[in-house]
Structure 1
Amino acid sequence: MFAPLRPYARAITFTRWLHLVMACVVGTLFAFVAPGLARMDEVRGLWLLVLPLPFLFAAATVPGVRLSEGTQARLLLFPHDRDGRPPAVAASASASWGDRWRTGLWMALRYELGMLTAFLSVHLPFLAAALVASAGGTEAPEKPPVWPSPLWPSGGEAWHAALAPLPLAGLAAFVVAAGALTAGAARRLLGPSAAERIAALEERTDRLLEHNRLARELHDSIGHALTVAVVQAGAARAAGSEEFTRLALTAIEETGRHALEDLERVLRTLREDAPGPGGRPTLADTERLLAAARGSGAHVTAEVTGPLEAVPGPVSREGYRIVQEALTNVVRHAGPVPVSVRIAVREGALELDIRNPLPERPAAAGGPGGGSGLRGIRERAALLGGRAETGEHDGGWRVRALLPVPAPGAPPRAPALKRRTGRAVA
């Protein structure tokens, strides 16, 4: 289609036309009072452009009116904004007097432009019909009192027929321009306020952080379960002992059950009906990690000092995941080696220290990890305002994390907003 004519064939042009014409309903209601429905086309009918304005501004002070206007604008002015972009207008109730004033200005503009659109939508087709009638030698329809006399045909001239398409073309051009003007005004007057934009940005940031946390949860939990299952199955086949096979299957069953529980909890979170973080394991459940690692052949010794129950929930849950990832790496990459786990709770801090000797050769269960688990450990510590270091230490491998533990009643410490490199944080 020829580009200049394309706007006249778009569906959005007609939905915006409908949105504008709907505003004349208010004018029609006021016309019952003055000047009367039969006199709307008279000069005194121009009062309809003024009388409703105070009532529109008064209605705009009701918070729900902004919600209604925003919903209409979304459906009729921007019906194709469904591609994931932020909406052009906010479908929410007024939260401040600034929102109310902008809603009042929007309603006044929509009303005035809508009344003009309705007037032209009725009288321009009548003008086209009057031009055709005048060219045919018949009497033209009576001119409305508010219509300029020089623009109404008279005299029965044949050339009036050539002018008949012009009112219809003018109406179409006016509807396209008025629709674009209304859409632009809606973006400014009904668009999200600064507070709403900040709230939407914070909500999006929280959602992304939650998705990242869930990804780490699945990586740690499912990765740990699969690693234990692979190692246990390989060890049971190599041992050739019925008793060892029974113990290996028990360990695989127990680890798999916990992984399924974690998977179900993550899926409930994604469906937005999760029971909350209370169902996530904490440092009090560390014993099951130690048992799984021992069942895989590792010789695990653990030392716990300080009251674990005094560690706040977020710190305890993230600490559990750090220990889980560290033990998973031991089983996956080092095999059946001695492992020491130290969990120390002292005033203001939680220290996690997991050490194991470096293997002479990679374990059979080792696989390409890409370092995402170690990076996740550092990210977990950084999000809590702590720090973590991973790497070789005194001829072995060490994972050490130091997490802040706020005093009871104190607000949680916010993580430092500084750039961190991919290296271990000392």
Structure 2
Amino acid sequence: MIRGLRPLLRGSTYSGALFAYCGAPASLPLLPFAVAPTLLWRSAPEGVRAVLALLLWAALIGVVGLARGTRRLLVVCARRLLRVPLPDPMAGRPPAADRWRTPLWLLLHVGLGWTGGLASCVLLLAGLTLPQGWADGEAQLTVFGWHARAQGGWSWVAAGGCLLLALAGCVAVSGALRRLAPRLLGPSAAERLALAAEREQLLAERNRLAHELHDSIGHTLTATTIQAAVAGEVLAADPAAALAALRSIEESSRAALEDLDYVLGVLREEQSGTAPTRTLADLPELLDRLRHAGAVVEPQLSGEWAQVQGTLSRAAYRILQEGLTNALRHGAGGPIRLRVVAAADGLELSVVNRTGAGTGRGAAARAFPTSGHGLPGLAERVRLLHGEFAAGPDGPRHWRLAVRLPVRLPA
């Protein structure tokens, strides 16, 4: 009994009923346009003209439901008044198979609004009128030719029953719309698939941005910190070397700021400029920055690696950047051997550095503990490109990163 009364105590019941009943007055502006054509057909019986006007009225309501803004407005109202969690409609025209859902919702909405509204008004009127005749010994109510009589104290019972029925009508109407809203206003199967694809694309873009931030900003922070330490150590003995290190810090920071501005623009959903791209063509600049940080890099470049372009070239640059950064951060000094071999069927990348207890470059290089995201991120990047990835010890004193990417160079 108490469970059955709970809907009567919820505010969403009455806000939903209000939403349903508003469908009746909202359809009234279309009624004159439906009645006007029937007035020209004076020879037809009144019943036929009434049916024709009703059909034209329903057709006009359905046409309103085809408008793009109608569905969005209905979704917003259903969320606030029916308390139904509905996503925003997708941009653009819905599929042809789904265009009937909004007109059908409007027709049901208007039908429930008129039916529930008239029934509730009659019941409320009966509940307020019947007790007035109790003092005279008999109460009578006439509505559309229908008569209701209650004698003595039964008038109060009848009045209470009418009020309860009116409240039950509110529960029924709001409940019916609440059950229909996900089916007719919610996303269809095709729209759910499109939303899932859009969400997957967004997640992929965010993961890509995370990789870009890790590769670019992480490398820059490592390199600039070591370069600053080197500049401080040689400032008195070799001012020219210190000045070169400071200039390298400026160039690295400017490049990192460009990457950061682009990523922040995407995350804020703003119209950002063209994404700064780093390719294998920028590899010499990267090696110069490492040398300014005090690293000894021994590059071995062979094949037509400069002809590698597009996504593969950008991915190869980021892989080498991460490998060199790890060698600079965690290596034990000594030369860093870099190898890039571009063949007709593949691009081979490798970075080999010494391992040990320290970096050999002072406390500045040890200021960056490993985050654990570098190698997994590289492995994921290589996997997406259908390449081969290997990282691990190479003998007792060295660490080796090796990547092979499939590529087909232009003839």
Residue equivalent to 1:256: 253
Deviations 1:355-408 (A, max 9, x none): 223346455423431432111111111122222211122552221222233677
SS at match of 1:153: strand
Residue equivalent to 1:354: 351
TM-score computed with the length of structure 1 as normaliser = 0.80
Q: Which amino acid aligns with 2:250?
A: E
SS at match of 2:99: helix
Q: Which amino acid aligns with 1:21?
A: Y
Maintained 8 Å contact 2:333/2:359: no
Using a 3 Å threshold, how does the CA distance of structure 1 residues 249 and 184 change in structure 2: closer, same or farther?
same
SS at match of 2:94: coil
Using a 3 Å threshold, how does the CA distance of structure 1 residues 132 and 49 change in structure 2: closer, same or farther?
farther
Q: Which amino acid aligns with 1:153?
A: R
Maintained 8 Å contact 1:74/1:89: no
Deviations 1:239-291 (A, max 9, x none): 45233332332222222222222211211121223546642222211222111
Residue equivalent to 1:402: 404
Using a 3 Å threshold, how does the CA distance of structure 1 residues 9 and 44 change in structure 2: closer, same or farther?
farther
Residue equivalent to 1:17: 17
Structure 1 position 317 matched with structure 2 position 314: yes
SS at match of 2:7: helix
Residue equivalent to 1:388: 389
Q: Which amino acid aligns with 1:216?
A: H
* Distance in 1 between residues matched to 2:332 and 2:242, nearest whole Å: 18
* Distance in 1 between residues matched to 2:60 and 2:331, nearest whole Å: 77
Q: Which amino acid aligns with 1:347?
A: A
TM-score computed with the length of structure 2 as normaliser = 0.82
Tell me the number of residue pairs that the alignment of Structure 1 and Structure 2 aligns. Answer: 391
Of the structure 1 ranges 353-362 and 251-260, higher mean CA displacement relative to structure 2 is found in 353-362
Of the structure 1 ranges 3-12 and 176-185, higher mean CA displacement relative to structure 2 is found in 3-12
* Distance in 1 between residues matched to 2:193 and 2:101, nearest whole Å: 19
Deviations 1:331-372 (A, max 9, x none): 111154212222233334332222223346455423431432
Using a 3 Å threshold, how does the CA distance of structure 1 residues 383 and 135 change in structure 2: closer, same or farther?
same
Maintained 8 Å contact 2:30/2:61: no
SS at match of 2:165: helix
Residue equivalent to 1:373: 374
Per-residue deviation, 1:131: 1.2
* Distance in 2 between residues matched to 1:178 and 1:397, nearest whole Å: 71
Of the structure 1 ranges 200-209 and 44-53, higher mean CA displacement relative to structure 2 is found in 44-53
Matches within 5 A, 1:241-280: 241=237, 242-275=239-272, 278-280=275-277
Using a 3 Å threshold, how does the CA distance of structure 1 residues 277 and 212 change in structure 2: closer, same or farther?
farther
Structure 1 position 223 matched with structure 2 position 218: yes
SS at match of 1:273: coil
Using a 3 Å threshold, how does the CA distance of structure 1 residues 92 and 370 change in structure 2: closer, same or farther?
closer
Deviations 1:92-137 (A, max 9, x none): 6652332123334323322221211111232111111221222233
SS at match of 2:242: helix
Aligned with residue 70 of structure 1, among 48, 66, 75: 75
Structure 2 residue runs without a partner (length 5+): 40-46
Structure 1 position 186 matched with structure 2 position 181: yes
SS at match of 1:354: strand
CA RMSD of aligned residues (A): 3.3
Using a 3 Å threshold, how does the CA distance of structure 1 residues 18 and 305 change in structure 2: closer, same or farther?
farther
Using a 3 Å threshold, how does the CA distance of structure 1 residues 11 and 348 change in structure 2: closer, same or farther?
farther
Residue equivalent to 2:43: none
Per-residue deviation, 1:180: 1.7
Matches within 5 A, 1:142-153: 143-145=142-144, 147=146, 149=147, 152-153=148-149
Structure 1 residue runs without a partner (length 5+): 37-42, 82-86, 409-426
Per-residue deviation, 1:325: 0.7
Maintained 8 Å contact 1:70/1:92: no
Q: Which amino acid aligns with 1:15?
A: S
Matches within 5 A, 1:7-156: 7-25=7-25, 28-29=28-29, 33=35, 52-60=57-65, 65-78=70-83, 81=85, 87=86, 90=89, 95-137=94-136, 143-145=142-144, 147=146, 149=147, 152-154=148-150, 156=151
* Distance in 2 between residues matched to 1:339 and 1:261, nearest whole Å: 28
